[in-house]
Chain A
Amino acid sequence: MDPSHLILTLLLTATLAPLVSCLVVLFIGKRVMGTASGWFATVVMAVAFGCALWALLAWMGWPAAQRHTIVLAVPWIPLPGSETPWLYLGGMVDSLTVAMMAMVTGVSMLVHLYSIGYMEGDARFERFFAYLSLFTFSMLGIVMSHSLIMLFVFWELVGLTSYLLIGFWFEKRAPQLACRKAFVMNRIGDMGFLIGFGILFWKLGGNVFLPAVAGNGRVSMFEALRQAIEAQGYSINHPPLWLTAAGIGLFFGAVGKSAQFPLHTWLPDAMEGPTPVSSIVHSATMVAAGVYLTARIYPILTPGAHLFVATIGLITLTIAAAMALVMTDIKRVLAYSTLSQLGYMVLGLGAGAWTFALFHLITHAFFKCCLFQCSGSVINASHHEQDMRQYGGLGKKMPITAGAYLVSTLAISGASLPFMGIGLTGGFYSKDGIIAGCYNYGSALAVAGHTLGPIFYWTPLIIAFVTVFYMARSFALTFMGQPRNKHLYEHVHEAPWTMTVPQVALALSAVLAMPMVLPFLHLINGSMPTVSWVQPGQADHMKVAYEHVEKGLLFGVAWIIVLLGGIAMYRPGMKYGHRVATLPGVNVLYTWTHNKFYFDALYDIFIVGCGKALAFIVGTFDKYIVDGLVNLAGLIGKGTGFFIGSFDKLVVDGAVNAAADLTQAGGRTLRLTQPGRVRVYVLLTFATGVVVTLIVVAAAMLR
């Protein structure tokens, strides 16, 4: 039997359930449900997760030979002048969709549960859950999208809801600025998206909107688009300039959402939102959306666009890792580590490691969500102190949180068993796969004569160790050693069960998912675009990745050395760290890194400052020049009238009295609105109006 109907129904239910929950909580949450709103929203998310999981099982149970992409298309905006009669909304289901749906609903459910504990006592408790559910709905909409336009619709909804969530505590100044920054930065990316989209529309017309053709085997939405491009005689491998430009434009949208260089500055600030928001923004939604988009447009990315994507990812993962090394705010460390990991994913997509990049997206979602939740528990327990220099030794008081944090640290480090090439966590396989893909890509570039090709391989490899180091640093500073702030330490307590349960569940999923790795990779691989320009090494990508693991014995030992080194260095606090940072040469580097490479200052001066200055100039121009000319014209008219009037009165006198009367009438108009005479003039106008209208109508009727 064809389960496509069942799968589609389940996934649509999972998508729409959070929307319903949002509306219910928004309108009756405060008055009727009170704090039960949190549980209501969580249960609805659990139902959605159940549906998504069922759909995943149904999909995997569907014999691969018969499996096909499921498409639902609902006409939305008519396009009579174009190749397609409609712009559609709807849905598309392939392996990637199914996997992403399960991940997003699962993580979101745990974040909802966690929020019940974290947001307890907040004045806008109910509203928080409404926003959170809407946020999830928007992300699920992106995952289900079957065309660029539908993706953009939910893309913007994600932007809106992230604005609401980041600015949730809008009484305070920092969240206000952070949410505005997030939205505007995203809109800059959207501008690129719209331009890329426009270019495609110009060249391909309505074909851009055609959803994936239903039942067309394994073809997914953007492969249909690629086919449309090739059907018009263009080639992806030897592309015209516009195609590369369109790909880069679309990718720029992802640069905004996934906080890639140079639009990355909003993400660290976004942690001004409540911590559950950080935990979902940094994992399952929002930042994942950009990577997801890049994965979907993959088939139409030209070699030039691929190089662009890979370079952006490379820059991001490097600078973000550097910044994560020096931050002392626990959430900032995690925020920069998210940036860096997103850089890995984007680099992986650019380099052609499609399957592993997406696998990394999913594994990362679990452990990063866990890390943020643990940090939230710590912050909550220590009276909203976020500076790690004030922590120390918290592991004794918060063993569950510390354990979950450690497991996730191992996962993000890509921990593997030494000398065996067996990963301890899913994170090992996903990251290693990306690095292997980068090896292929770098080699291919080197063969093609690009001397800088190998940096695409060496950089992510080196940064992988930096990752281990800064994560070890944050763990050691927070949970190990002696308490550095006695007062804070005394009040610290383990988080309530609504918060620890999601933490443990997420940490376990990072470990217990191990037996699932191969089937899961296989599943995602089922959605891999069939054609890519990165031909050498592409086909046997998986094989190369595993060979890489076997060769990676050294890596297997090295990560432990780095981990232990990091812990040893930071267990006693910051003193060794300070000593290193003040070394000559290093201190300059440290200053730059600590100031976030001055991106914020640069943007404030050049973009925000210039924007405001331009607005001021244009506004002043409008007020004094454009409007000034209008007033001048009025003045000249008035003067002329006065002059002619006087001339008339004094020189021509009675001869042309009518003209003078006219001028006087003009003068009187100015005084028309004096109170007291209002009624007279209203009546006059009214009479005129009525007479005119009546003449019109009566004349017409009488004929």
Chain B
Amino acid sequence: MTSLLTWMLILPVLGALGCLIAPSKQAARAIALATTIATLVVNIALAVGYAHQGWSGVLDNQPLSWISSINAYYHVGVDGLSLPLTLLTTGLSVLVVIAGWKVDKAAKAYHALYLLLLAGMIGVFIAMDLFLFYVFFEVSLLPMYFLIGIWGGPRKEYAAIKFFLYTLAGSICLLIVMLGIYFYSPAATHGAGNTWDMVTLQSKAVRDLFGRGGKFATFGMWAFWLTLIAFMIKLPGVPFHTWLPDAHVEAPTPISMVLAGVLLKMGGYAIMRITYPFFPDWGQYFWVCVAGLGVAAILYGALCAMAQSDWKKLVAYSSVSHMGYVTLGIAVLTREGFDGAYFQMIAHGITSAMMFFLVGVVYDRAHHREINRLGGLWLKYPGYGGWSLVGFFAGMGLPLLCGFIGEILVLLGTFRAAGNAVLMHGAATHTLLQVQHWSLAFGILAAFAVVLTAGYILWMFQRVYMGPQKPEYAHYEAVSAREYLIMATLGIAAVVFGVAPILVFAVTTPTFNHLAHILGMA
């Protein structure tokens, strides 16, 4: 069973090789599709295996020594925190290949790079060794750089370099912390020496070491912030978000889908996997700052989205706003908030991919994305208009669509934080304002976001879809079955997860019970 984990890494790499030596572009596409489907199947088999384990514990391989001089191990595994995200990744990857079917420029190289990216993303989610995690975190960077830089729009070079350097800056923050952890860890491993092992690093001994009043408390505090910044760049959190709109606007449609759908989730995942479980004390201590950043992102992203006239930029800023719920949900340290933050990542993976695809369908025909030059698309394409309604309203957080579950849980968790004993004792805020004042203020501001979100989505929807058709639409080709397949799959997924959120929570609950204990969640 555990060899399946390794196969999830090998398959995309082999597929990438296959794409490069493929005789034709069409063959490369077929290989890419077959590879992603095979990876998805392997991932599902893995999920079945984890289900047999009662969705609890970690399903991992026997750690194999990799670079023995620094105690780095090849240790991969899945638990409730990573399994839904790997399924999101592998599931979405199939659709992304289909969405990229019409890419003609250097198609072999395109699919090869994309499959390499897939291997990197899967690696990030299944790495159980901090060093291995870092390697995959970097591996996923380079293919993305080229995918934007070569197949992107007019300002692709600028966007690609900005994306690359910005994320690299985050990686350096992470590297510093990693080195610190490595050198300080022997103090807590009872003679076992230095370690990168993420399970060991979540032990109470390590937490006490880096926690408030611990031996390396100051380092713990800096490490908390450095990792948080590293991952908030990826998330992206305000004010580290400006690479995102540029990257999205320049990236080709399928790459935007994977960027918003999966890559951003690496940031949220890492905050849940590393920043908070390693340094829970500092999470409690600084909760007001982190939650404030989350609320700021929600409102700031929504306001920026409202100000955009480029359709794709609007969707990009909506990602900033939606990922703000992830930050807020984690920061308030309540179970509702944490569950909601996680679900929000899955839901955003579905809705943002769908929204970017919907934009792409029109861009392929109109070759521009100016909202004010569009209009009447609903009349031109009734079926496409219907799926657009599902996609954008799911993004808006309409009940029974997937966007709602995460938002309402985060909101409830934020209000619940007002009575959170951990925050009352552990937070740095009691000198300023009471915990309940902060959490009420955050809750009210987050609730205000429902108005702003409705505002920018509906305003866009009115200008793009409603009204009479434009004369230039006459020669636009019909929406193809391939495009409907992608829209329908994502749209149905949005409904299914909105109606049955248990599909995610059944997997995560045992793992989150354990995490709740570590983090001191209410």
Contacts and interface: CB of A to CB of B under 8 A. Distances in A.
B157 A619 contact: no
A199 B307 contact: no
B34 interface: no
Interface string B495-518: 000000110010001001100100
Consensus secondary structure, chain A interface: helix
Contacts of B459: 180
A195 B149 CA distance: 45
A699 B67 contact: yes
Interface in A652-682: 669-670, 672-673, 678-679, 681-682
A176 B443 contact: no
B161 A77 contact: no
Interface string A188-202: 101100110111011
B165 interface: yes
Contact of B416 (A190, A202, A622): A202
A627 B142 CA distance: 23
A194 B447 contact: yes
A187 B451 contact: yes
Interface residues of B, number: 97
Contacts of B429: none
Contact of B522 (A81, A627, A672, A697): A81
Contact of A195 (B132, B157, B447): B447
A28 interface: no
B418 interface: yes
A78 B443 contact: no
A184 B454 contact: yes
Contacts of A177: 462
Contact of A80 (B308, B386, B509): B509
B156 interface: yes
B112 A201 contact: no
A176 B463 CA distance: 9
A615 B416 contact: no
A630 B166 contact: yes
Nearest to B468: A171
B146 A681 contact: yes
A180 B458 contact: yes
A622 B242 contact: yes
Consensus secondary structure, chain B interface: helix
A183 interface: yes
B379 interface: yes
A512 interface: no
A696 B132 CA distance: 8
B356 to A, nearest CB: 20
Contacts of A615: 303-304, 306-307, 456
B447 A191 contact: yes
B116 interface: yes
A156 interface: yes
A690 B162 contact: no
Contacts of B389: 164
A131 to B, nearest CB: 11
Of the listed residues A26, A203, A697, the one surrounded by the most CB atoms of chain B closer than 10 A to its CB is A697
B113 interface: yes
A618 B146 contact: no
Nearest to A124: B382
B454 A685 contact: no
A629 B300 CA distance: 17
A620 B307 contact: yes
Contacts of B160: 673
A77 B509 CA distance: 11
Interface string B392-431: 0100001110001100110110111011000000000000
B438 to A, nearest CB: 12
Nearest to B13: A693
Interface string A591-633: 0000000000000000000011011101110100011001000
A611 B455 contact: yes
Contacts of A170: 378, 462, 465-467
A197 B450 CA distance: 14
A537 interface: no
Nearest to B436: A202
Contact of B307 (A154, A180, A619, A686): A619
Contact of B165 (A622, A634, A678): A634
Q: Which 4 A-B pairs have the closest CB atoms?
A: A81-B335, A619-B307, A700-B74, A198-B415
14 contacts: A82-B336, A163-B458, A171-B467, A176-B467, A183-B458, A202-B418, A615-B306, A618-B300, A622-B300, A634-B165, A669-B161, A672-B149, A682-B109, A682-B150
Interface of B: 6, 9-10, 13, 16-17, 20, 64-67, 74, 106, 109, 112-113, 116, 119-120, 132, 135, 139, 142-143, 146, 149-150, 156-157, 160-162, 165-166, 239, 241-243, 300, 303-304, 306-308, 334-336, 339, 376, 378-379, 386, 389, 393, 398-400, 404-405, 408-409, 411-412, 414-416, 418-419, 436, 439-440, 443-444, 447-448, 450-452, 454-456, 458-459, 462, 465-468, 501-502, 505, 509, 512-513, 516, 521-522
